[in-house]
């Protein structure tokens, strides 16, 4: 099934068109990619995941802030 907005185009704005089957397949793939990011950061050479930002390691920021926020965006944006 192909979905596309049926509104007036203002010349510079193109409605977002997507294939619902592709969205259904992309959502879990993106969420798995976000999950695999944590161990990949932990395996970086020279313990790069332990670099401190605002007193907390990059791994903490990724696991507690960045990945959940991106996962929420993936779930909301691709909800259909």
Q: Please report the beta strands in 1-80, taking only residues with DSSP state E, as ranges in sequence order.
A: 2-4, 17-19, 52-53, 56-57
pLDDT of residue 6: 54
- CB-based contacts of 4, cutoff 8 Å, min separation 6: 15, 17, 18
Q: What mean pLDDT do residues 33-46 have?
A: 92
Average pLDDT, the chain: 81
pLDDT of residue 77: 81
- 44-79, pLDDT tens digit by residue? 999 999 999 999 999 999 999 999 999 999 888 877
> Closest Cα to residue 60, out of 79, 41, 32?
41
Q: Which residue has the higher pLDDT, 11 or 25?
A: 25
Tokens of 80: 């259909």
pLDDT of residue 13: 56
pTM exceeding the 0.75 threshold for the entire prediction:
no
> Closest Cα to residue 62, out of 36, 29, 27?
36
Tokens of 19: 């294939």
């Amino acid at each position: 099934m192909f979905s596309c907005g049926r509104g007036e185009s203002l010349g510079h704005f193109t409605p977002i068109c997507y294939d619902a089957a592709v969205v259904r397949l992309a959502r879990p793939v993106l969420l798995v990619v976000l999950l695999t990011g944590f161990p990949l950061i932990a395996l970086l050479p020279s313990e790069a995941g332990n670099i401190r930002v605002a007193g907390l390691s990059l791994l903490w920021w990724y696991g507690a802030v960045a990945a959940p926020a991106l996962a929420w965006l993936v779930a909301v944006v691709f909800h259909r």
